Amino acid sequence: MTTLPIPVDQAVGGPKPTELDDGELLKLFRLMCQIRRFEEQVVEASLANLVPGSTHPCIGQEATKVGAIAALAPDDYVLATYRGHAEAIAKGCDPTAVMAEIMCRVTGLCSGKGGSMHMSAPELGLLATNGIVAGHIPMAGGVALSCQFRKTNQVVACFFGDGASCEGEFFETLNMASLWKVPLILICENNGWAISVSTSLSQSTPDIADRATGFGIPSAIVDGNDPLQVWRAVRNAAARARAGRGPTLIECKTVRWERHSALSAGGSDPDAQRRAWQTVDPLPRFRSALLEWGVTDEATLDQMDEVALSEAVSVREAAEAAPFPERDSIFEHIFAPV
Amino acid sequence: MSQTMLTESDTLVELTMSQAINRALVEALEGAEPIVHLGQDLGAYGGTFGVTRGLWERFGPEVIRDGPLCESATVGFGIGLAISGVRAIVEIEFFDFVGVCMDQIYNQAAKLHYLSGGRLQVPLLLRTPIAARLGGGPQHSQSLEAWFMHIPGIKIVMPSNAQDAYDLLRTALADRNPVLYIENVRLYGRRQMVDVSSPPRPFGQARTARQGEHVTVVALSALVDEALKAAATLAERGISIEVIDPCTIAPLDLDTILDSLRRTQHLVVAHDGHKTAGFGAELAALCSEHAFDYLDAPVERVAALDVPIPSGPSLNDVYPDADSIIRGVERTLGLANAL
Amino acid sequence: MSGEPVRIAAWLVEEGVAVSQGDPVAELETEKSTIELEAPATGILRIVVAAGVDAEVDAVIGHIEDGSPVTEQSAPAVATMIPSDPVESAPTAPAPPDTASRTIVASPAARRLATERGVRLDTVVGSGPGGRIVASDIVGADAAATDPVAGWGLRDAVVAGVAASWREIPHIHISGRLDGEGIATARSALGRKITVTDLLAFSLARALLEVPSLNGSYGDGTRLSTAVHLSLAVATEHGVAAPTIRNAHELALEELAAERRRIVDAARTGRLEKRELGGGTATLSNLGAYPVDFFAPVITGPQICLVATGRLAPEPVAVDGMITVRHRIWVNVAIDHRAADGEAGGRLLTSLEQQLSNLPAQTAPGEER
C-alpha cells in the first residue's frame, strides 16, 4: 500500500484532467498560493503579538481545502475546525475581513467577537468554524438534515482532523447521518497529529476511513495533497448526497506543518517535521503538474505567487490598521432580538 | 386520545400542564415556520411522560423525529437545523441527562450568536423535565437550572402551572435564541383553566402568586404550590407571606422580587435544586447587592439537601416542601428559639 | 429619704492643710462599713465636725476654702454610700456610652430605620436571634419619646406595669442567705465610690451569664439574651424606676459604677429617657440600705427574673465546727414560672455566691476587671 501523500519528487501528474478546464485549474493554484501566503502572514502577525490567543495555520494542507470546496456548489454549506482560515477564503470571504477577525478588529468577519477560531459567513455558506474539537460535526449533520427537510439541493461539507475522529460526537454523527441519509460529506484531514499526539498513539486502525464501514457509510482514502484527487472524491460524494443516498466519509492523507498552532510546537522535533511536510508540499507538486500538462508557463505561475504574496502583505497591513471593537460591544450579540 | 375538557368559554379550556405544553407545540407546528422536534420516544410512544402524545400522528415522523440515544449529537443536530433555517426542538428525557450534551448546550448553542458577531441565530428549544420525587435515585432526580443560569446566552423558563406553561412555550417558540424550557413531572397532571387567547407573555416577568406582608417567598416550579400551601397554614397563625413565581430565571425579573423585599424585609427562596450554589444563592447575592438595607434577616434558602438524592421514598425529606418553607419563614422572622 | 447617721471615724488631714480635689480627707463609718471621703475641691480644709462624732445626713462636716464661695461638704446620702459631691451632682449631660469597643449587631433594615428616625442603636436592645437588633426593635424604640419629659407621667406607667406583672406573672421566689464576706472585703479595699449595689450588680451580671434561662424576657415565647442588660430598681419621688445598664456583664467595675451613678442620678432628677427605662434582661433591687433582710418583689415584666437583696450584715455563723463572724446577705430570686423553674433560681444563687466570693480577687485595685 502506498504511503500517502506522495512526495513531490515522486509525484507524477498523470493524464491531464478532463473535468476542469485550464482556467479552473489555474484558479485552484491561485487559491492555494493565496492561502499559503495568507497563512504565512498570519504566522508573522502572531509572532509580532498581533493575534490574541491561538491561531492554527493550515500551511501544507491547502490542497484538501481548495480541492474540496471547488467541488461544491456556491450555495453548499461548509463547517470547519479552528484551522479554518482556508475554508473561509475558499468559500469567498474577503481575506482582509478574515485577517481582521484573526486580529480581533471591529472590521473582522465577526466584528472581532470570534477571533481566529470562529469564522462565520452564512450568506456565503460558511456557517461556522469551531474551537471545540468535533463540536461542529453533529451540527453539520443537523445542517444536512435541514437541507433534506427543506428539500433543497444543497449538501454540507464538514472538515475535521484525525483528532476529532476519536471524539464520541463523530461516531454519533456517523450513525445519525447514515440512518437518516442526510446530504453530508465528512472530510477528515489526517495530518498525523493531534497537537502533540501522533496518530500512532491515538488511532486503533491505520485508516480513519475504516470507521465509516461500521455505519454503512461509503468512504474513500485520497492523497490530500493532490487537489484533484480531493476534488474528484468530493464531487462524487456531493452527487451521492444530492441523489439522496446519504453521507460519505473522505479521508485525506496529508502532513501537518511543523507546529500545531502559530506559537505551539506540539511535536517533538520541529525541524524533522518541517522537512516532512515540505517533502510533500502540495504547492510545488501541483505547480509541476500544471507545467507538465502545459496549462501555463513558469513565469505565469511565478507571477501568481508574487501577486498572492503582495496581496497577503496588503491584507495584513490593512487589518493591522483597523480599529478594535468598542468596549460596549462586549454586551452585544448575547441574544438575538426576540 | 381522549381529553376531558370543560369549556367555560371559547377561550378558557381546562388543561393539564402536559396538555398545555402539547397544545402550544401543536400551534407552532401548524404555523408556517419549518420546525423539527428531535428526541427519543417522542413519536408513536407519545413521549416518556405523554407530553407529545398525538403529535407524531398529526405531523409525521420527519417532524416528530425519534432518533438514536445520543443526546450530544441530537442537540448538535438541533443546532445545525437552527442555524440553517429550521427551528429545532430537542427533548432531553430527564433533566439529569443534560450532562451528556453539555458542550453542545453551553459551548455551542449559547455562544454561536455571540462569536459569530450576530451572524448566526440559534432558535433551539430544549425541553426537559425535573424528575424529582419519583424514587428515581441520584441520577434521575436532579434540578440543575443553576448550572445554566451561570452561562450567558441561554434563556431559562420554569413554568409552575398550565397557564404559564402554555404562554411561555409560545413565547419560547417565537424566540430566535436557545431556550431551556424546564418542565416538571410532578406538575404534568396539574389541571387549570387556561386562557388560550392570552396575549404573548414576555420572558423576565414574574408572577405574584399570593400577596403578603411579612415575608417574601420566591419559589421555583413545583415549589410554588408548596409555598402556597405554606402560606395558608401560616395565615392561620397570623403570618402573611408573599409568594412570587419568577416564571423565568434567565432573564430574571429582579425588580418584582426587590419591590416585595423592600416591603417585607424578609426573603425565603425555595427550589428543588441543591442548596449549595443553587438559584437561591444567586438570588441572595442579588438581594444583598441591590437591597441590602432592606434585609431584616439573612436570606433563607429552602432547597434539596447537598447529598446525592437517595432512591427510597422514606428519604424523600431530602427535598423541600410546605413544612420546610414554613420553617424557613419562621427562621427568618426569628420565631425559633434564639439560642 | 431618711438614712442612718454617719460617724466621722477620723480626719486624715489636719485643719488648715491644703488639699487637692480628690485627696482622701476623712473616714466615715456607717453601720454597714467605712468609707473614705474625698476632697470635693482644691483648697484649705476647715473642719466643722470633729472625729468620733455622729453627724446627721446633710449636716455640714467641713469646708474647703478655695477662695471662692464656700463649698459645703455634706454628709453622704446613705443609700448611695458616697459623699454627695457638689461638683459631681451638678447637672451634666450624660456621657455618651463608649461604643467603640463594642460591635452593635443590627440588621441592615434596622440600621436604615435607625438612621432615618434618629434612633441611637446603642440604646436599643435587640430582640432578634443572638440579641440582634431588628427593624421592629427600632420601631418600638422610636415609639417612645426621645426627650425626657419632666415628671414623666411615669407614675401611671409604673402603676400599670406593676399591676400587670402582679396579675399575669406567676411568681416563684427562690431565696438564700449568701456569704457576703467577699463584698465586705472588696468594699473596704476599694472604698471611694464603689457601693454595695455596684458590687452586687457586677457579680449578678456575671452570674446571669451562667444561667441564661433567667436572662431575658417572656412575651409570647421566651426571648433569651446572650448579653446582660441589668435594670436597677431606683426609688424616686415618682415611684420605682428601673433604668438599665447595658452590657453590664462586660463593664469593668469602675465603668459600671459610673454608669450606675449616671442613671440613678438621671432617674432621681427626672432626666431619664424613656428608652433607658426598657430593654433590660433582668433587674436588681437592693434595699440593703434599710434594715431590710428579705423581700419578695414584683417582677418588672416582661423580664423573667428580679433579684432582690437585703442588707449586708455581720453575724455569727458555724464554720468548720467553730463559731465565727461573717457578713451575710439575703438574696431572693423572683422568677416568672412560665419561663423558668426554681432550679434555675437555685443555680443563679450558686453562681452569684461564687461571684461574690471572687470579688476581692477580681476587683483588687489595679486589677479591676
Over residues A70-92, the pLDDT tens digits come to 999 999 999 999 999 999 999 99
What residue has cell string 491505520? A206
Interior angle at CA B244, CA B242 and CA B249, nearest 5? 155
Cβ neighbours of B173 in A, within 8 Å: none
Contact C223 B338 (CB under 8 A): yes
Contact B338 C212 (CB under 8 A): no
CATH of the domain at B318: 3.40.50.920
User: Order of strands across the sheet with A156-161?
Assistant: A126-130, A77-81, A156-161, A184-190, A248-253, A219-223
- For residue A138, pLDDT over 90 is answered with yes
Contact B76 A144 (CB under 8 A): no
* Spatial separation of the C-alpha atoms in residues A231 and A243, rounded to whole Å: 18
- pLDDT at position C59, please? 67
SS3 B216: strand
* Spatial separation of the C-alpha atoms in residues A4 and A207, rounded to whole Å: 11
Q: Are strands A219-223 and A248-253 parallel, antiparallel or unpaired?
A: parallel
pLDDT one-digit tens code per residue, C136-179 = 888 877 665 444 443 445 566 677 778 888 988 999 999 999 99
- For residue C93, pLDDT over 90 is answered with no
| Mean pLDDT, 10 residues at a time, chain B of 339 residues | 54 96 98 97 95 97 97 98 98 97 98 97 98 90 97 98 97 98 97 93 97 97 98 94 98 98 97 97 97 94 95 82 96 68
Q: Does B289 touch chain C (CB under 8 A)?
A: no
- For residue C108, pLDDT over 80 is answered with yes
SS3 A254: coil
Best residue of A124, A137, A145, A326 to probe chain B, by most B CBs closer than 10 Å: A145
- For residue C101, pLDDT over 60 is answered with no
Q: Are residues C134 and C160 in the same domain?
A: no
Using the Cα atoms of residue C344, residue C346, residue C352 and residue C357 in order, give the sign of their dihedral: negative
Contact A128 B113 (CB under 8 A): no
Q: Are strands B87-91 and C216-219 parallel, antiparallel or unpaired?
A: unpaired
- Rounded to an integer, the average pLDDT of A287-293 is 95
Q: One-letter amino acid identity for B164?
A: D
Q: Are residues C121 and C215 in the same domain?
A: no
Phi, psi (degrees; rounded to nearest 5) at C352: -65, -45
Q: Are residues C218 and C354 in the same domain?
A: yes
**CA A115 to centroid of chain Cα atoms:** 17
Residues in chain B: 339
Which set of grid coordinates corresponds to residue C153? 407621667
The total of structural domains in chain C comes to 3
CATH of the domain at C118: 4.10.320.10
CB count within 10 Å of CB C213 equals: 19
Among A143, C258, C297, C254, smallest CA distance to B80 is for: A143
- pLDDT at position C56, please? 66
For residue B135, the enclosing domain spans 8-195
- pLDDT at position C104, please? 83
- pLDDT at position C365, please? 61
Cβ neighbours of B337 in C, within 8 Å: 221-222, 224
- pLDDT at position A267, please? 66
Q: Are residues C15 and C34 in the same domain?
A: yes
Residues of B carrying an active site annotation: 71, 140
Q: How many CA atoms lie within 13 A of B5 on its CB side?
A: 18
Q: Closest approach of chain B CAs to the CA of A87, in angstroms?
A: 16
Domain membership of residue C239 (yes or no) is yes
pLDDT one-digit tens code per residue, A296-318 = 999 999 999 999 999 999 999 99
SS3 A82: coil
CATH of the domain at C210: 3.30.559.10
Q: Are residues C262 and C141 in the same domain?
A: no
Residues 6+ apart with CB under 8 A from B17: B159, B161, B162, B165, B183, B184, B187, B188, B189, B190, B192
- pLDDT at position C38, please? 79
Q: Closest approach of chain B CAs to the CA of A131, in angstroms?
A: 9
Q: Does A160 touch chain B (CB under 8 A)?
A: no
- Minimum CA–CA partner of B295 in chain C: C109
- In chain B, which ranges are continuous DSSP H helix? 17-29, 55-59, 71-83, 102, 112-115, 145-149, 162-172, 223-236, 254-264, 279-291, 322-332
Mean pLDDT of chain A: 95
pLDDT one-digit tens code per residue, C236-248 = 876 788 889 989 9
Contact B265 C212 (CB under 8 A): no
Which set of grid coordinates corresponds to residue C145? 419619646
* Spatial separation of the C-alpha atoms in residues A290 and A16, rounded to whole Å: 9
**End-to-end distance of chain A based on CA atoms, in angstroms?**
57
Question: Which residue, B195, B230, B254, sits at the end of a domain?
Answer: B195
What residue has cell string 431530602? B318
Among B323, B317, B227, smallest CA distance to B280 is for: B227
- Rounded to an integer, the average pLDDT of A204-211 is 93
CB count within 10 Å of CB A236 equals: 16
CATH of the domain at B56: 3.40.50.970
CB count within 10 Å of CB C98 equals: 10
Question: Which residue, C121, C146, C171, sits at the end of a domain?
Answer: C146
SS3 C117: helix
Which set of grid coordinates corresponds to residue A10? 515522486
Among B240, B248, B249, B327, smallest CA distance to B286 is for: B249
- Rounded to an integer, the average pLDDT of C294-305 is 91
Domain membership of residue C88 (yes or no) is no
**What are residue C314's DSSP bridge partners?**
C327
Contact exists between A and C (3 or more beta carbon pairs < 8 Å): no
Q: Are strands A77-81 and A126-130 parallel, antiparallel or unpaired?
A: parallel
What residue has cell string 507538486? A285
pLDDT band at A286 (very low <50, low <70, confident <90, very high): very high
CATH of the domain at C30: 2.40.50.100
- Rounded to an integer, the average pLDDT of C273-295 is 86
Q: One-letter amino acid identity for A253?
A: K
Q: Are residues C344 and C220 in the same domain?
A: yes
> Is-contact A143 A130, C-beta < 8 A?
no
- pLDDT at position C161, please? 78
Which set of grid coordinates corresponds to residue A315? 491584507
For residue C278, the enclosing domain spans 151-362
pLDDT one-digit tens code per residue, B258-309 = 999 999 999 999 999 999 999 999 999 999 999 998 999 999 999 999 999 9
- For residue A116, pLDDT over 60 is answered with yes
* Spatial separation of the C-alpha atoms in residues A54 and C359, rounded to whole Å: 76
> Is-contact A117 A130, C-beta < 8 A?
yes
Q: Does C135 touch chain B (CB under 8 A)?
A: yes
Question: Which residue, B195, B217, B242, sits at the end of a domain?
Answer: B195
Domain membership of residue C93 (yes or no) is no
Question: Which residue, B128, B160, B195, sits at the end of a domain?
Answer: B195
Which among A77, A169, A335 has CB closest to B76?
A: A169
Contact C108 B296 (CB under 8 A): yes
Which set of grid coordinates corresponds to residue C69? 464661695
- Rounded to an integer, the average pLDDT of C280-298 is 94
Q: Are residues C127 and C157 in the same domain?
A: no
User: With b meaning 16 or more CB within 10 Å and e meaning fewer, what string describes B2-19?
Assistant: eeeeeeeeeeebbbbbbb
CB count within 10 Å of CB C159 equals: 11
pLDDT one-digit tens code per residue, C42-57 = 777 878 777 877 776 6
Q: How many CA atoms lie within 13 A of C13 on its CB side?
A: 23
Which among B265, B292, B339 has CB closest to C212?
A: B339
> Is-contact C317 C324, C-beta < 8 A?
yes
Which among A115, A145, A335 has CB closest to B80?
A: A145
- pLDDT at position C368, please? 46
User: With b meaning 16 or more CB within 10 Å and e meaning fewer, what string describes C6-23?
Assistant: bbbeebbbeeeeebeeee
Domain membership of residue C368 (yes or no) is no
Q: Does B339 touch chain C (CB under 8 A)?
A: yes
Q: How many CA atoms lie within 13 A of B217 on its CB side?
A: 39
Which among A118, A143, A335 has CB closest to B83?
A: A143
Q: Are residues C135 and C274 in the same domain?
A: no
pTM over the 0.80 mark: no
The total of structural domains in chain B comes to 2
pLDDT one-digit tens code per residue, C317-335 = 998 999 999 999 999 999 9
Contact B88 A110 (CB under 8 A): no
- Minimum CA–CA partner of A145 in chain B: B81
Contact C110 B339 (CB under 8 A): no
State which of A282-286, C240-244, C254-258 shows the largest mean pLDDT. A282-286
Residues 6+ apart with CB under 8 A from A1: none
- For residue C88, pLDDT over 50 is answered with no
Q: Are residues B156 and B251 in the same domain?
A: no
